[in-house]
Structure 1
Amino acid sequence: MRTGSEPTTARSALRARFWLSVWGLVWAIFGTTVFALVGRPGWAAACGVLWLVVTVDMTVILKHMREGPHYQPGRDIPPYRPPESRPR
């Protein structure tokens, strides 16, 4: 059942995001190194910028993982607004 509050109650798969960031970090480092060795400074700079972005993203992901779960409503508070009862 959809309630319309999904954006505020959504959860993120942090472990999946972390491993995708690791994958992107490996490729960004590889690209920076290869393009620098081949003599393509423009592409090396682009991969270096991507490397920086992935590193910042990974830092944010690790911060969120270390924070742990946040406020969760108790058993007496539903996680969503109950649907309005309509006469049939």
Structure 2
Amino acid sequence: MRTGNEPVTARSPLRMRFWLGVWGLIWTAGGTVAFAFAERLGWSVVCGVLFLVVAVDLSLVVRHIRQGPHYQPGRDVPPYEPPGRD
């Protein structure tokens, strides 16, 4: 719901989330390999599952970044009244 007091220069945190996702991919891949060499199968599987979760999240972030900015109402659009108030 638009309240009329959103910052004019608001920015999306998708780029930061992208780089944190890359960082997570590096650590989970390293953890999977390290635990596999240490013969800790359970921890290796956990890191592998986390790797898959981070990879899916990263693909969604890239998809949202490629979609580009969406329409946002300008200053000339008045704020909306909350529904149910009469």
Scaled by the length of structure 2, the TM-score of the pair is 0.76
Who is 1:86 aligned against? none
Q: How many residues align?
A: 76
* C-alpha deviation, 1:11, in angstroms: 5.8
Measure, in 2, the Cα distance between the counterparts of 1:25 and 1:15.
15
- Give the gaps of 5 or more residues in structure 2: 82-86
Residues 31 and 60 of structure 1: CA distance in aligned 2, closer, same or farther (over 3 Å): same
Between 1 and 2, higher relative CO (CA 8 Å, sep ≥ 6) is seen in: 2
- Secondary structure of 2:76's match? coil
- Give the gaps of 5 or more residues in structure 1: 84-88
* C-alpha deviation, 1:74, in angstroms: 3.6
Correspondences of 1:1-88 after superposition (within 5 Å): 3=3, 12-78=12-78, 81=79
* C-alpha deviation, 1:26, in angstroms: 0.2
Identity between Structure 1 and Structure 2 (%): 59
Provide runs of 4+ in structure 1 moved above 6 Å: none
Q: Deviations over 1:44-79 (max 9, x none)?
A: 00000000000000000000000000112144214x
Superposition CA RMSD, Å: 2.6
Measure, in 2, the Cα distance between the counterparts of 1:20 and 1:52.
15
**Higher share of residues assigned helix:** 1
